[in-house]
Structure 1
């Protein structure tokens, strides 16, 4: 549990909103042009600290595993699929690393990279890759052909591999409040919201979640209920992370999110549009992490990565006494997947 020092540290930041105020979505999720080639990949790492570099005979180059998105495929799903196809290893995604941009075949191309833990499998030469090497990061940076891959490896090496991951989800669509005759807390997902929830049920397991938390409103719980059922667990209710629970004691809500981040495994946390932007912006501000946009569309996910408290931290007001945000990456609803 995080103590009073954490509560003091997360309090008193600028930009406090009045209790009950709903901060608007500041930026809509961008829809990439279909003329842009979209691809995804990963820095695949093992417990011994080595990372995978592959040789592609078609290009006669050494590269990080990556490849183009299939039609309708999400970026994270493409990263996992391409790693499996090129290396033979199953990947559990971690933090987002970088997006690289360049021109390929006369068209602009973007490649989104994640860190990913090798979770089993074995390499066999295939149509795309004829050799795989497990090497230290510094050696990988010397081996890869493209400078863009070196940049991605530098982003990977900037933080340890044992970061705490939190998947912060805004609930899926639940129709208009005015059209629901009952209590707003009980407003269920709409048909579109149920489709979004099913999309999240396929997307979120790519990070290997181990527990599911949710604000108590029906639409928040139902958005992640399928993920919890697939884990054989129940949804853990978090009153502090609902709009009515967060704003009367904002510091307590932030502390609760940090406590969840500091627990074992990878948590999914379902909350509301009146909470998530403030949580993400505040934690980024406290960590000195530049974050100019905080979109929060229904059915979207913030992929958050934290450095855990240092061993032996005391209750003194120190940055080592609470998980520190090092990466925050926005993932639109899986139903808004780009079409390459």
Structure 2
């Protein structure tokens, strides 16, 4: 996973050469303040097993992505539904009593519903203002994750930019290239995108007009019960013919009211992101932009403030089944 806002815990137990063999995910869970109309509150949970106060988190189940695990763990530990936002990075630390390292990936997550109920893992949930939450957390690493969260406003608009899934080789398709369909592996990628994109609150679906782009987001659109809006300017042909118009159209799809998914192509996405990042003063980290991968773009007042590339985090290969 890449992202200019990414965080990686450093300290006496952190070694970038050592790979974690236990994987977990969690969130900085937040809601608008009940006391301050301009403020927010962050959830801190008490785990009686450890007698600590921490951010909600937990281990990945086999065949589960970190994104899906983050949403599930928030639900299981707090009873609350949430919508993920920007990626906050990961921490890596040794598991006491074992020769194992645990990696925990974190996202910002806004509460969207539900109520806390006492459960087998958590007996108390407290909400704290951002400026007081540090003193309530038991672990320095949790405080460092909250600092990563606090570097940008909690309220961000999200645009999900998807590169179409696998569609085989162009030279092996007998027909117009825009009609080249997904191959079997691509169809599987399209289905796998559904829960991961829904974790970010996906609501509306847009796509460049080539069939392989439309087929990549069709399962999501069917799940949502919505139509796919075609965007010819965001195809490789349309982008090359009217690059400025295509960039402005992409920018117009950013919304404070809806999380939109846009599927485009490999010769569009890198240039579009480079333009966006340069315009708004953001440094992008390198990304392979593989087929079926996703960029989570976060905006404040129409300005791009974070761009997180999801590749590893939408893979079910993180934890062996």
Q: Give the aligned partner of residue 306 of structure 2.
A: 327
Q: How far has the Cα of 1:35 moved from its partner?
A: 4.8
Q: Give the aligned partner of residue 43 of structure 1.
A: 28
Q: More deviation in 223-232 or 162-171?
A: 223-232
Q: How far has the Cα of 1:78 moved from its partner?
A: 0.4
Measure the CA separation in 2 of the matches of 1:34 and 1:73: 19
**Where does structure 1 lack aligned partners over 5 or more consecutive residues?**
1-31, 309-322
Does structure 1 residue 98 correspond to structure 2 residue 83?
A: no
Does structure 1 residue 186 correspond to structure 2 residue 179?
A: yes
Structure 1 residues 299 and 54: CA distance shift in structure 2, 3 A? same
Measure the CA separation in 2 of the matches of 1:216 and 1:127: 49
| Counterpart secondary structure, 2:253 | helix
| Counterpart secondary structure, 1:46 | strand
Whether the 8 Å contact between 1:94 and 1:117 is mirrored in structure 2 is: yes
Q: How far has the Cα of 1:76 moved from its partner?
A: 0.7
The normalised TM-score by structure 2 is 0.87
Measure the CA separation in 2 of the matches of 1:133 and 1:233: 37
Q: Give the aligned partner of residue 264 of structure 1.
A: 257
Measure the CA separation in 2 of the matches of 1:68 and 1:263: 32
Measure the CA separation in 1 of the matches of 2:244 and 2:257: 22
Within a 5 Å distance, the mapping from 1:158-307 to structure 2 comes to 158-262=151-255, 264-307=257-300
Whether the 8 Å contact between 1:215 and 1:221 is mirrored in structure 2 is: yes
Q: More deviation in 102-111 or 239-248?
A: 102-111
Number of matched pairs: 295
Measure the CA separation in 2 of the matches of 1:262 and 1:87: 29
Within a 5 Å distance, the mapping from 1:114-133 to structure 2 comes to 114-133=107-126
Whether the 8 Å contact between 1:164 and 1:307 is mirrored in structure 2 is: yes
Whether the 8 Å contact between 1:277 and 1:294 is mirrored in structure 2 is: no
Q: How far has the Cα of 1:103 moved from its partner?
A: 2.1
Whether the 8 Å contact between 1:295 and 1:330 is mirrored in structure 2 is: no
Q: Give the aligned partner of residue 338 of structure 1.
A: 318
Q: How far has the Cα of 1:263 moved from its partner?
A: 6.0
Q: Please give the per-residue CA displacement for 1:217-258, whole angstroms capped at 9, x wherever unaligned.
A: 000011001211222221111111111111233222221111
Q: Please give the per-residue CA displacement for 1:235-291, whole angstroms capped at 9, x wherever unaligned.
A: 111111111111233222221111101463000000011111122233223322222
| Counterpart secondary structure, 2:62 | coil
Q: Please give the per-residue CA displacement for 1:161-193, whole angstroms capped at 9, x wherever unaligned.
A: 221101100101111112211111000111111
| Counterpart secondary structure, 2:26 | strand
Q: How far has the Cα of 1:72 moved from its partner?
A: 1.8
Structure 1 residues 285 and 117: CA distance shift in structure 2, 3 A? same
Measure the CA separation in 2 of the matches of 1:286 and 1:295: 22
Measure the CA separation in 1 of the matches of 2:218 and 2:241: 27
